[in-house]
């Protein structure tokens, strides 16, 4: 039976206050994942078959890539529906360099995988979206790798394989840009920068790609494209949250 954060003593500080929570260093994936879903009612409406976005009416999914014929990935799994709180944590880790949040998010990831074991178990490898950490990078570490390292410390049996996709240099940031501008960057400089250095590791495998936020889907589309080109049998995405403009 899932853990109820309300039943814990002391009570968790709340998802947006992870670093001040009594369970930050002593908690378990079960507690941290339960906290990300606390007080988050299931939305009602029409659900996108690709990303799970729920619309109030019959309008198509607002995430551009979900409607493309050449999407390359089959579907998207989302760790939490509390997009704003998750985006705050991701932003503080990636841009504020609050690296202790990787520990929390690693536990959240493990909690999700255990709670939803059947669907991710159908993939042979769980890798990370490509990040550049070379001499021109604005930080010498990859926040997704930090999250996966923390997840690996807390579980076994999940086929984590970070870094299957390489990125040869920095590319334009999507933050604050509209869909057309994001697509231009993705299909231009991002596509040129991505590669799979060891295609034999992905050939014939079904691969789940971990990323932080799904906004339009252009980054995941390019990642799936390069993996399929290297021989992968199929690609799906796993993101911490869906958030427009993230």
Counting Cα atoms < 13 Å in the Cβ hemisphere of 97 gives 4
- Provide CB contacts within 8 A for 172, sequence distance 6+: 185, 189, 190
The helix/strand/coil state of 77 is: strand
Cβ atoms of 72 and 228 within 8 Å: the answer is yes
Q: Where are the alpha helices (DSSP H) in the chain?
A: 29-37, 83-94, 101-115, 143-154, 179-185, 191-193, 218-229
What are the φ/ψ torsions at residue 127 (nearest 5 degrees)? -115, -175
d(CA 109, CA 40): 17
Token pair of 182, please? 């994001």
Token pair of 75, please? 């579907």
pLDDT higher than 70, residue 231: yes
pLDDT score of 40: 67
pLDDT higher than 70, residue 58: no
- Provide CB contacts within 8 A for 9, sequence distance 6+: none
Q: Where do the structural domains in the chain lie, given as residue ranges?
A: 5-242
pLDDT higher than 60, residue 1: no
- Is the whole-model pTM more than 0.95? no
Counting Cα atoms < 13 Å in the Cβ hemisphere of 70 gives 4
- When pLDDT is cut at 50, 70 and 90, the band that residue 246 belongs to is low
- When pLDDT is cut at 50, 70 and 90, the band that residue 54 belongs to is confident
**pLDDT tens column, 93-139:** 998 889 989 999 999 999 999 999 888 889 999 999 999 988 888 88
**pLDDT tens column, 158-196:** 999 999 999 999 998 888 888 899 999 999 999 999 999
| pLDDT average, residue stretch 211-225 | 95
| pLDDT average, residue stretch 137-163 | 91
pLDDT score of 130: 92
Percent of the chain with pLDDT over 70: 96
């Amino acid at each position: 039976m899932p853990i109820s954060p309300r039943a814990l003593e002391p009570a968790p500080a709340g998802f947006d206050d992870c670093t001040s929570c009594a369970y930050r260093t002593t908690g378990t994936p079960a507690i941290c994942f339960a906290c990300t879903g606390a007080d988050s009612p299931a939305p009602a409406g029409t659900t996108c078959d690709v990303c799970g976005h729920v619309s109030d009416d019959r309008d198509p999914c607002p995430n551009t890539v979900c409607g493309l014929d050449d999407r390359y990935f089959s579907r998207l799994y989302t760790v939490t529906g509390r997009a704003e709180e998750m985006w705050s944590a991701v932003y503080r880790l990636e841009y504020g360099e609050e690296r202790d949040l990787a520990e929390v998010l690693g536990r959240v990831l493990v909690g999700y995988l255990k709670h939803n074991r059947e669907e991710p178990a159908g993939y042979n490898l769980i890798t990370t979206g490509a990040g550049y950490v070379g001499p021109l990078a604005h930080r010498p570490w990859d926040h997704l790798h930090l999250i996966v390292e923390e997840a690996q410390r807390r579980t076994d049996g999940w086929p984590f394989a970070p870094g299957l996709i390489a990125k040869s240099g920095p590319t334009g940031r999507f933050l604050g840009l509209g869909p057309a501008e994001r697509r231009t960057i993705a299909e231009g400089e991002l596509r040129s920068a991505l590669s799979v250095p060891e295609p034999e590791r992905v050939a014939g495998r079904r691969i789940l790609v971990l990323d932080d936020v799904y906004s339009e889907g252009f980054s995941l589309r390019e990642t799936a494209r390069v993996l399929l080109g290297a021989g992968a049998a199929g690609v799906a995405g796993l993101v911490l949250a869906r958030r427009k403009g993230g």
